[in-house]
Amino acid sequence: MIDPAILTADLIRCASVTPQEGGALQLLERLLTAHGFQCTRVDRGEVSNLFARWGKGKTFGFNGHTDVVPVGDLKAWSVDPFGAESRDGFLYGRGATDMKSGVAAFAAAAIDFVKESPPDGSVVLAITGDEEGPAKDGTVALLDWMQAQGERMDHCLVGEPTCPDVMGDMIKIGRRGSMNGYFTVTGVQGHAAYPHRANNPLPAMARLIDQLSTASLDAGTEHFDASTLAVVTMDTGNPATNVIPAQCRATVNIRFNDAHSGASLTNWLQEHADKVAKAFDVRIDLDVVISGESFITPPGELSDLVAHAVQVETNRTPVLSTSGGTSDARFVQHHCPVVEFGLVGKTMHQVDERVEIAQIHQLKSIYTRILRDYFA
C-alpha cells in the first residue's frame, strides 16, 4: 500500500517552484514505473511533464501539477517551506495543499487500485510542472502529445483543492473564463501650469475605468454567478507634480461566465475605449490576453460518480460549483468530460501552507472509490 501522506512529504521536499522540476516528476516516474505504469516524459520548452498509463481500453484519467508558487518572505515562515514538517496533525510546506497532496493521493490510489483489482480498462495520470505559471507548455503540451500519439482519456478528474471549508463540500463542474485588458492612453505632455497646451491622458483614463468598473456584465446564468470586472492597476509613472504626463496605463481583469466569450468581451472593451478616445481626443490602445474561456461539464454521469464517492467517504453531499479562479480543467475540457475534486484549500499560496494529514488519506479513499465505481 502506498501511503499518500508520506508521498506528499517526499514531493514537498522537491523545490519545484515554476518552472523548476525540482525532482518531483522524477520521483513520481520512478514510483509509477516500478508499479507497472508506462511512463513518458513530455517536456516542452522549460517545462517538465509526465504521462503515465496502466492498461488499455476504457480510460479514466487524473490531471494535476507538481509545480508550486514562490515561497515569498522566507522569514515569515515558521518552518522550512520545503522541509515537509509534521505538526499537530498537519503537514507543512509549499505545495502541501496546492497540490502535491492531490497528486500523491491520486497516484497512490491508482497504484494500489490496479494492483489489488486490475480493471478491464486503463488509468492515466497526466501531471505537469507548470500550472502556476504561464501554463502554455504544461497540460496543453500533454494534451497536444496525447493527440499526436493517439492517446486518450474518456473521463478526467483534476485533483485541485476544491473544498472551501470542509472536506467534501464542493466539486467543480466548470470554471469561469479569465482575461486581462491592458489599456494605454496617450495624450500630449506639457507643463502643469499650461494645461491648454497639453492633452492630459488621465481624465480620459479615469472616465474609461469608471465606465468599465460600474458596468453590469450580466446577472449570472444557470450554473454561473455574475461575471466580474476588477481594476487591478492604474499607473502613470510620473513623479513630477509640474508635468502633465503623455501616457498612463491601466489593467482590468474579467472573470466571465458562459454568457460571454473572450472575443465578445474584447469587442465590448474596445467599444468603450473608442468612445472615450473620441470624446477626449486621445489615443487608446488595448491589448488583451485571454487565459481561458468559461466552460461547463453539465451535471450527469461524471459528476454523479464523483459526488457519490465523496458522499460515501465523507457523509457530505457536495455542491456542484463553477466558482473560483481558473485551472487546467479549462484545457482538459476540450479533450474529454472533466470535473475537479480535491481537499480543503484554505492555506494554498499562503505562508505556512499546510494540509491536514487525515485529509490526504481521505482523499486517496475517495479517488479509490471513484476508480472502483467507474470500472465496476
Cell output for 140: 496543453
Question: If we measure between CA atoms, which residue out of 275, 262, 146 comes closest to residue 211?
Answer: 275
What is the four-CA torsion angle of 255, 222, 62, 144, rounded to 10 degrees? -60
Joined together, the cell numbers standing for residue 126 give: 497526466
- The grid cell for 14 is 522537491
Report the distance separating Cα 295 and Cα 178, nearest Å: 11
Catalytic residue check, 274: no
Choice among 131, 151, 328, 353 that is catalytic: 131
301 is catalytic: no
Chain centroid, CA 350 distance in Å:
16
Tell me the C-alpha distance between 79 and 85, whole Å: 7
Q: What is the DSSP string of 294-340?
A: -EE--SSHHHHHHHHHHHHHHS--PEEE--SS--THHHHTTTS-EEE
Find the angle CA(163)-CA(165)-CA(167) to the nearest 5 degrees.
55
C-alpha cell at 144: 497536444
Query: How many other CB atoms are found less than 10 A from the CB of residue 234?
Result: 15
First-to-last alpha carbon distance for the chain, in angstroms, is: 21
Q: Which of 10, 29, 67, 132 is catalytic?
A: 67
Residues marked active site are found at 67, 131
